[in-house]
Amino acid sequence: MQWIELRACPACQEPASAKIGKLRAKYYSFGGSRRPMPRGGVALHRCVTCGLVFKAVVPAPQELTDATSDAEGSLWGGNYDYADEIACLEALDLVGADILDVGAAGGEWLAALPAGGRRSALDIVRFNRLDTAGGGEFIEGFLDSSELMWSGRPYDVITAFDIFEHLYDPSAALGNCRSMLKPSGWLVIETGDADAMRRRPGDWPYLNLFEHHIAWNRQSLAAAARAHGFEIVSFEQKAHKGPAGPQSLSWRARTALYRLLPELYVQAMNAAGARSNPPGDPASIDHFRAVLRRT
Ligand SMILES: [Zn+2]
């Protein structure tokens, strides 16, 4: 396993940070297998300048690409209820616009949208079931890559749901978003809310994942947006999107445990070899949605 050590805030480059905790798990669960933690464990830091929470050690990008290729189908792209996200685009009159979805996995969100403009996807591997409709394209790579190959035809909207917690280099990611958007284009972000999570007891279940490197709050996102040619138009705290249709017994059990005993939740998930991300509990307002506009 190849690991990368961070010596400064990955969002604002401030070298000073406060250590706020350490992951207690002995391994990560990813794609049905266990992956070792780095020697010495994983410390959690909070940037003193922008407030970003970040891990001091993260897996090298190639480790994630390899692990994701191995795990297709068993990871991400769940059957979510996207009504709230569609309502957000409707309110901005953007449902029929050209949309690029980052981290599109099997294309579930793009497929949930009413038909309209180009439906394009960016991801580190192409899932077989992904459909890019309306003349859309597939862009292969990390959002924070310095060498993304794309059509050069900019978009009205970029959606990034549950993506910004994966970033290695937020500056590069926001730079890429800006260059792939039309002037005054929109960037809609949903990710974990570090401020909400700090108020919960427990072991940062959100960062106890192989592929989650950072947690944002309003302050850190506003600073990064400003530095990269965006303004925040709206910011609302919310729950993670929930599953579509009837909820399974195991989802209900996980949700109840996460709600009532978050510390035990993480321990139980680790012991079972399961992933300990929060289960999309509608009562746990531990995420946010920010709508940004290119300035
Ligand atoms: Zn910072």
Phi first, then psi: what are they for 102, rounded to 5°?
-90, 135
Residues 83, 85, 88, CA angle at the centre, nearest 5°?
A: 110
Q: What is the pTM of this model?
A: 0.93
Residue spans of beta strands (DSSP E) within the chain? 3-5, 17-22, 27-30, 33-36, 43-47, 53-55, 57-59, 99-102, 119-123, 138-140, 155-161, 181-192, 214-215, 230-238, 287-294
d(CA 267, ligand 1 centre) in Å: 30
d(CA 47, ligand 1 centre) in Å: 5
Burial 82-105 (b: 16+ CB within 10 A, else e): beebeebbeebebbebbbbbbbbb
Q: What does the block give as tokens for 99?
A: 């949309």
Cα–Cα dist 185/101, whole Å: 14
Closest Cα to residue 185, out of 117, 249, 127? 117
d(CA 186, ligand 1 centre) in Å: 24
Residue 220 lies in a domain: yes
Helix, strand, or coil here: 39?
Answer: coil
Cα–Cα dist 267/255, whole Å: 14
Helix, strand, or coil here: 89?
Answer: helix
Contact 94, 182 (CB under 8 A): no
Q: What is the pLDDT of residue 77?
A: 56
| Edge-to-edge order in the sheet of strand 287-294 | 138-140, 119-123, 99-102, 155-161, 181-192, 287-294, 230-238
Residue 138 lies in a domain: yes
Q: What is the pLDDT of residue 75?
A: 61
Q: What is the CATH number of the domain that holds 186?
A: 3.40.50.150
Which domain does 226 fall in, by range? 78-294
d(CA 220, ligand 1 centre) in Å: 7
Residue 23 lies in a domain: no
d(CA 64, ligand 1 centre) in Å: 24
d(CA 14, ligand 1 centre) in Å: 5
Cα–Cα dist 171/228, whole Å: 7
Q: Number of structural domains, the chain?
A: 1
Q: What is the pLDDT of residue 49?
A: 97
Residue 157 lies in a domain: yes
Residue 207 lies in a domain: yes
Q: What is the pLDDT of residue 273?
A: 78
Closest Cα to residue 76, out of 252, 167, 212, 269? 212
Residue 116 lies in a domain: yes
d(CA 10, ligand 1 centre) in Å: 7
> 10-residue block means of pLDDT along the chain (295 residues)?
96 96 87 85 96 97 84 64 94 96 93 94 91 95 95 98 96 98 98 89 82 97 98 95 78 86 84 78 89 98
d(CA 143, ligand 1 centre) in Å: 19
d(CA 221, ligand 1 centre) in Å: 10
d(CA 17, ligand 1 centre) in Å: 8
Q: Based on the number of CB atoms within 10 Å of its own CB, is 294 exposed (0-12), middle (13-18) or buried (19 or more)?
A: buried
Cα–Cα dist 40/35, whole Å: 15
d(CA 225, ligand 1 centre) in Å: 12
Q: How many CA atoms lie within 13 A of 88 on its CB side?
A: 23
d(CA 117, ligand 1 centre) in Å: 36
Residue 69 lies in a domain: no
d(CA 183, ligand 1 centre) in Å: 27
Residue 70 lies in a domain: no
